Structure 1
Amino acid sequence: MEINKPDIVSPEKNKDERFEDFLLAEYNNIASAHFNAKTQISNFFRYYLLLIALPLPVIGAFKVFGSDKYASNLGGLSLDFVHYGGVLSFCLFAVGFLVMVYIINLNVSSILYARTVNGIRHYYYELYAENLSEIQVLSDSIDRPRLSGRHSMYWICATFSIIDGFYCYLWLKLIFNCPPGALTIFMLSLFLHLFCCYIVFKNAEIRIDKSRSK
């Protein structure tokens, strides 16, 4: 990402002009950072979908090449498949949860970037725009977008909870052979993911309030 450097040391410019140069450079840099964060969110989600597709050929390989010398009581599956499949399922559950947390934090950063851009936009609107209602389309509020609004990550977290819930159920089934019901696992997974999303957003709001009170 190219960084725009403001001309704030030019002796030909007064203090206000140098400050406006700084704001313009900051606007461009933060706007680029915002779109870069959105791109990273999309990329990480694609990588995650690719990752969860990997067990399919692995399962096929175990079914074809797995040793049938020792069979478990899970439908005649080999113990190799049970052990490695259980470990793989748990790893995918853990990785999925951690990837979700990282994506949530990227989304929080993206929202903070957007609010910074809005604040700079508000400065220039107030300074130069006489008929603001005729030209304003984008928001100039530093409280928008909301962390927990309709554009939040809750729907994505719900998607992660379904996928991770499946692998959690598979892990318990293969390793312990006595998991709770599938619906119970999915409900617990949904609660865990949404609660984590809520905690991250709540901590972000607390940090924002503290920074404004300084």
Structure 2
Amino acid sequence: MGSFLLYKNILVRGVDMDETIRKCKDRFMEIYKSSVSREGASDFLEWLEGTDFFVAPASTRFHGNHEGGLLQHSLNVYDCLNEEIANAGLQEVYSAETIAIASLLHDICKVNFYKKGFRNAKDEETGQWYKKEVYEIDEKFPCGDHADKSIIILQNFMRLTAEEILAIRAHMGGWDNAVKGGNGFVGKIFERSKLAVLLHVADMKATYFMESST
């Protein structure tokens, strides 16, 4: 669980953030380059290098709402998904490429999605108000729901398999805005795709870990 350990180090041991992000990026690159080789993979990686993926937060207020949070969360989901697949005895069913794409890139919709801002906050010790640096949403590509957008971005570079699409589309499960609308199709995806179920569980575990560690 390499990325879990890196995240713990930030909180417990005070490891330098820049160094932690560098280590996480090195691990991401190692996994991606050794696992993903389909047509368009190198073009996607070149595009990704030009975005804020490696330093972006994973959210504005909750899990990974800090520099490098998106990268760390993605690696945590990768670790959790591999663990869930092993526990289910499905190592021979899903390729290393599919596992890497579904887990490392499920939240690619959050690339270039946030910007730094400020809000008023009160110091509990002094009672003085100050400007606290926060992340705000700065949507530049309003196209589809959360997971739909990830699929659209990825398909611009490489062809996804049907099961990869289903897994990424349903990874948020009941928290997905589309499900809140009442159409219920994510449940049908879970019935059809074991990978979708396992990615959902992996994402929830990784999210819980980051939230409970802050």
TM-score using structure 1 length: 0.30
| The structure with more strand, counted as a fraction of residues | 2
Q: Which has the higher helix share?
A: 1
Larger Rg: 1
